[in-house]
Amino acid sequence: MKWQLFYTEETLDKVLQRVEKPARYIGNEINSILKEDADIKIVLAFPDVYEVGTSYLGFQILYDLLNKMPQVQAERTFAPWPDMEAALREEGLSLYGLESKRPLAEFDIIGFTLQHELSYTNVLNMLDMAGLKVLNREREGLPLVIAGGPGALNPEPMHQFIDVFIIGEGEEILEDLVQAVRLHWNDKRRLLRALAVIPGFYVPDFYQEDFDSQGRSLGTLPRDSGFPQRIQKRIVSEFGELPLPERWVIPWVQPVHDRVSIEICRGCSRGCRFCQAGMAYRPVRERGKDLLVSQGTRALMAAGSREISLSSLSSADHSQIGELVQEVMSQSVNTSVSLPSLRVDSYSVELAKLTKAVRKTGLTLAPEAGSQRLRDVINKNVTEAQILDAARTAFAGGWTTIKLYFMIGLPTETDEDIEEMARLVWKIRDTCREAVGHTKRFQINLGVATFVPKPHTPFQWFAQTAPDVIESRQHLLKDRLHTKFIKVQTTKKKEGQLEAVLARGDRKISQGIYRAWQLGCRFDSWSEHFRPDLWQKAFEEAGIDPQEYAFRDLPWDAPLPWDHIDIGISKKFLIKEAELARKALLTEDCTFGRCSRCGICKNHHHEPLKRGAGQ
Amino acid sequence: MRLALHYCKYGSLKYLSHLDVQRLWQRMFHIAGLEPEQTQGFNPHPKLRFALPLATGYYSQAEVLEIYLVNQLPPQEAAKRLNRFLPRGMEVLNAAVLDSSVPKLTALVTGVGYRLEFNRAVDDIFQQVEEKPVMLVNEKQINLPTNILGIKVQAKFVNLAVKVEEQRAVRPEGLMKHLFGAQIVKTITRQHLFAEQAGFLPPGISAFSDHGDYVDDNS
């Protein structure tokens, strides 16, 4: 590798002249920041392509926050597309930070976000492209390689590659990290020891996972008593007061989501039993309307943007959502407001109607399951009447396209539930017909995902449904909905299976990931790059039976490979929820009704949020 | 207010596509507090037009756009405000108010001048043009002598001016590949935009007859 402190324009010309969309790799975007005098240099590394990574709210938040710290420089880097990877390797150049064009190995900290299991091989590849050893035990000194995000909640599959996992919300913990690195920059061992005793930091090297005679996990425990048994998730103390990012970096190449996002709530109390985010980001917190309007409008101005997204896991749940939407709209003329993750009810559709997004984009509703029984199993808390009501409101309100999200392969599902899903979609279709009249065209698009059991959810114990069953149900559904105005899109079965293996993986899986990367796996979430054959080979060579991880019901009392990660939700609650699921019984949303005793408020000394019943 | 801006684009910003540049400017006006007039209709967008789109990978000293603003302000003030926010590598060099007698810039531009840097001396360029006077672009025959307005050679550098018709012009890298077989151009910089019309011209656009830069003394 050619070592230069910074790559010059001339050096980079050699690679950029022959790649597709070179603007992905030049930095210098509006509102990007380059400091000259930083003593701590951090690069935020997103293990997917630029257009995906630049749409990720978390990095915008951390970038803004870190760069506000004195003498800290935060830069960004994204997974180079295969053409860029080839060009860099051919020229012997390292992956670099977009702001300074400094090779990654020159940074003090490389911070990955693990948003998705299928991006894991990209993490390894990016480390390798930085000229660093992929295995943490073979790396000495800085940069310190850290990782956060949902994937860190079951860190074991990545334990061989990452030095330190961040458990929980980054905002406050990063200050501790920067301080520790300043103090112990010349002694990595000491740095790791110092971090390992601070809540929210997990140093896998100080822990070990034992296995029984069948090779099943007996849990992950500290190697010596100086380290905590469980790593407690960190949450910010005053989310409501936490300022929004002021300067939104405007990416060059059109990103997946080209808009400014403001996080109106964090956490969700709906309690859907499959949803990891719904458990992981508790407790539910809100920012007040006035802060959101004033800082949101300012961020919009600084970004020169005309699109703002009121981001949350369930936007319509914000206590002041109606006024909020109206004020944001009146403050910024010609601005379109989008509300991701709407509840399935007419109130939410009415809200969306306010935002002028009508006709511009389709409306998305997520009933998730087709039959009432199965919706109760997952605790969706939505009735068929509400779904039809929402659809009617949408079509009467001017939408001509709606997108419906469903899942196939949910626990307890039978073919009858799929028949019921098809019947529901037909009813929605009839409702649409009625609402728009017989002359107008309309379109219903179904996105049908495959259920993947995720750690820290009530469904973590449930097996994934076997691929041939998934396939036959996908066919059944398509067969029942074979008509002009309905389009059905399903996910490929093998990607879902790999996701399940990695999601519920233990330390042994790590070797499979390593081997898959060596065999050439990259960009596994991109179907044109996904190589199930190589993954199978990798697992075989690593002595791993993927079926054991994906297709097995786990006993309630079995130690789980992620039990040492404490997200603040009690295991008793998760078991209770899983048992209620089996009986198709509902649990109330605690912000509107009774406390469900998930443990989060007690564990974090948090005052529970109560919302009015009017919504 | 109809405003013309003459700006340059250098450094790694040469890798921005025309689409990226459009998106950049739409944002820049908002950021600088200049409010573009919006088109009426289904999907309103700012009334923004570029004199001639620039290919990805080219440097330029001669980018010109026109925009209708709701604000009334001196053109130099608009330039100053924009320069405060433009990314490193882009700078407004000049600005002027256009009245309605000036035709659309897209219609005004009839020629474009480039400076090409080569890996080697290209003194044989005239001979090559003579030997290969017809170039194929998308199965269409392009007659070079009628499309090339002028060439001037200085060792490894060539100034090349070509005709622009309805926003279309011969691409210099394609032309050089046609002439020399292999790709031997190192960098391409757009230097001038030309108009046939005499009299008042927006900044960044000049009359071709004013330039000696594209006339070779030896040819």
Torsion angle (degrees, nearest 10) of CA A430, A434, A437, A442: -40
Q: Which two tokens mark A451?
A: 């259920």
Range from A105-114, A230-239, A527-536, A604-613 carrying the lowest mean pLDDT: A604-613
CA distance A75 to A111: 10
Residues 6+ apart with CB under 8 A from A145: A109, A110, A112, A127, A132, A136, A139, A161, A162, A163, A164
CA distance A207 to A192: 12
Mutation target among B31, B42, B59, B117 for the A interface, most CBs of A within 10 A: B31
Looking at per-residue pLDDT, the higher value among A196 and A398 belongs to A196
pLDDT at A118: 96
CA-based nearest distance A306→chain B, Å: 9
Cβ atoms A383, A343 nearer than 8 A: no
Asked if the C-beta of B24 comes within 8 angstroms of chain A's C-beta atoms, the answer is yes
Percent of chain A whose predicted confidence (pLDDT) is above 70: 98
CB contact under 8 A, A9 and B11: yes
Task: Write the CA distances from A266 to A58, A154, A173, A319, B175, integer angstroms.
Answer: 12, 21, 17, 13, 57
What residues of chain B lie within 8 A of the CB of A302, using their CB?
31
Asked if the C-beta of B57 comes within 8 angstroms of chain A's C-beta atoms, the answer is yes
CA distance A337 to A268: 21
What residues of chain A lie within 8 A of the CB of B16, using their CB?
23, 26, 252
State mean pLDDT over B53-60. 96
Asked if the C-beta of B147 comes within 8 angstroms of chain A's C-beta atoms, the answer is no
* Paired residues of B160 in beta bridges: B114, B151
Query: What is the CB-side half-sphere exposure of residue A33 using CA atoms within 13 A?
Result: 23
Nearest to A16 by CA among A96, A75, A128, A105: A96
Asked if the C-beta of B26 comes within 8 angstroms of chain A's C-beta atoms, the answer is yes
Tell whether the model's pLDDT for residue A509 goes beyond 90. yes
Confidence tier at A494 by pLDDT (50, 70, 90):
confident
What residues of chain B lie within 8 A of the CB of A29, using their CB?
87
Asked if the C-beta of B38 comes within 8 angstroms of chain A's C-beta atoms, the answer is yes
Mutation target among B14, B15, B19, B85 for the A interface, most CBs of A within 10 A: B15
Q: Which two tokens mark A139?
A: 């790396």
From B16, which residue of chain A is nearest by alpha-carbon distance?
A: A23
Alpha helical stretches, state H, A202-244:
none
Q: Which two tokens mark A204?
A: 């896998």
Give residue-wise pLDDT tens across range A277-336: 999 999 999 999 999 999 999 999 999 988 899 999 998 899 999 999 989 888 877 788
Tell whether the model's pLDDT for residue A41 goes beyond 90. yes
Confidence tier at B78 by pLDDT (50, 70, 90):
very high
Global pTM reads 0.94
Nearest to A300 by CA among B77, A171, A29, A292: A292
Q: DSSP secondary-structure letter at B205?
A: E
CA distance A353 to A342: 12
Q: A414-427: buried (b, 16+ CB within 10 Å) or exposed (e) per residue?
A: eeebbbbbbebbee
pLDDT at A3: 47
CB contact under 8 A, A22 and B27: no
CA distance B93 to B64: 10
List the beta strands (DSSP E) in A356-400.
363-368
Tell whether the model's pLDDT for residue A256 goes beyond 90. no
CA distance B81 to B28: 10
Domains and CATH numbers, chain A: 9-232 (3.40.50.280), 259-359+585-615 (3.30.750.210), 362-508+544-553 (3.30.750.200)
Mutation target among A11, A13, A34, A332 for the B interface, most CBs of B within 10 A: A13
What residues of chain A lie within 8 A of the CB of B31, using their CB?
30, 301-304
pLDDT at B216: 80
The number of C-beta contacts closer than 8 angstroms across A and B is 61
Longest distance between any two alpha carbons in chain A, whole Å: 74
SS3 A48: coil
Tell whether the model's pLDDT for residue A2 goes beyond 50. no
What residues of chain B lie within 8 A of the CB of A334, using their CB?
38, 44
SS3 A89: helix
* Paired residues of B207 in beta bridges: B195
Which of B12, B19, B26 has the CB atom closest to A28's CB atom? B12
pLDDT at A344: 84
Confidence tier at B60 by pLDDT (50, 70, 90):
very high
CB contact under 8 A, B20 and A252: yes
The mean pLDDT of chain A is 93
Asked if the C-beta of B18 comes within 8 angstroms of chain A's C-beta atoms, the answer is no
Tell whether the model's pLDDT for residue A610 goes beyond 70. yes
CA-based nearest distance A15→chain B, Å: 12
Write out residues 71-130 of B within 8 Å (CB-CB) of A: 85, 87-89
CB contact under 8 A, B57 and A23: no
CA-based nearest distance A24→chain B, Å: 9
Ramachandran assignment for A101, one of left (phi > 0), alpha (psi -120 to 50 degrees), beta (any other): left
CB contact under 8 A, B19 and A254: yes
Give residue-wise pLDDT tens across range A115-141: 999 999 999 999 999 999 999 999 999
Give residue-wise pLDDT tens across range A397-454: 888 888 999 999 999 999 999 999 999 999 999 988 888 887 778 889 999 999 999 9
SS3 A22: helix
Residue B113: how many CB atoms within 10 A of its CB? 24
State mean pLDDT over A363-391. 93
Helical axes A289-303 vs B18-31, angle rounded to 10°: 130
Cβ atoms B98, B4 nearer than 8 A: yes
pLDDT at A360: 59
Q: Which two tokens mark A339?
A: 């509300």
CB contact under 8 A, B31 and A30: yes
Confidence tier at A483 by pLDDT (50, 70, 90):
confident
Which of A23, A27, A334 has the CB atom closest to B20's CB atom? A23
CA distance A199 to A249: 31
pLDDT at A358: 47
The mean pLDDT of chain B is 92
What residues of chain A lie within 8 A of the CB of B119, using their CB?
none
State mean pLDDT over B31-45. 84
pLDDT at A345: 84
Tell whether the model's pLDDT for residue B12 goes beyond 80. yes
Backbone φ and ψ for A369, nearest 5 degrees, come out as -130, 150
CB contact under 8 A, A305 and B30: yes
Helix, strand, coil percent values for chain B (each to nearest 5)? 25, 35, 35
Q: What is the ipTM of this complex?
A: 0.92
